[in-house]
Amino acid sequence: MKNIQRGSDSSRHGNLGCPSIKLFLTTHGESVRAMLSTGIHPINHVILQWLPSVVTPSAGYNHIDMAECWRRGIVVTNAGNVFSDDDADYVVGLLLDVLRWISASNRYVRRGLWASKGTILLVLGSSLFTSICLFVFFLI
């Protein structure tokens, strides 16, 4: 089996419908065992005719034509909920950043605005407790 070097004509093009990927699969399709799909471009019937399996490292698989895979008996695997804990960590971090204006305060200080406009922006922001109480209040 030949290795594909990064930057070769067939791997450089993002559009999976382009002639170079079709040419590559026509030439080397018999030796392809699986395709690693990052989800940037759809995997459709044009590509699936050459693949026995598709692997996507993300939780979602909406970029893959699942009906066509099922029809052809192509195995599709994904990461499932492997990244759920990491995603939750990012959400909590983003929530704290937005509520407490951490990034905004950082930009404020780095631009030197605290010297000319004062430090009032640095103490603004909402507490998580207050935001949750308001959310529950309006939910009821």
CATH number at residue 25: 3.40.50.720
The answer to whether the CB of 52 falls within 8 A of the CB of 31 is no
Query: What end-to-end distance do the CA atoms of the chain give, in Å?
Result: 63
- In angstroms, the Cα distances linking 110 to 8, 63, 95, 103, 135 are 43, 41, 22, 10, 33
- The answer as to whether 2 is a domain residue is no
Domain boundary pick from 77, 96, 129 = 77
At 49 the pLDDT is: 85
In this structure, the answer to whether residues 88 and 122 fall within a common structural domain is yes
How far, in Å, CA of 13 to CA of 96, rounded?
39
At 71 the pLDDT is: 94
In this structure, the answer to whether residues 30 and 62 fall within a common structural domain is yes
Range of the domain at 55: 9-77
At 129 the pLDDT is: 74
Residue 14 has pLDDT above 50, yes or no: no
Residue 102 has pLDDT above 50, yes or no: yes
Residue 89 has pLDDT above 90, yes or no: yes
Residue 109 has pLDDT above 90, yes or no: no
Split at pLDDT 50, 70, 90, the class of 67 is very high
Split at pLDDT 50, 70, 90, the class of 6 is very low
Opening angle at CA 19, ends 13 and 23, nearest 5: 105
In this structure, the answer to whether residues 52 and 112 fall within a common structural domain is no
Domain boundary pick from 77, 103, 126 = 77
How far, in Å, CA of 63 to CA of 66, rounded?
9
Contacts of residue 101, Cβ cutoff 8 Å, sequence gap at least 6 = 121, 122, 124, 125
- The answer as to whether 4 is a domain residue is no
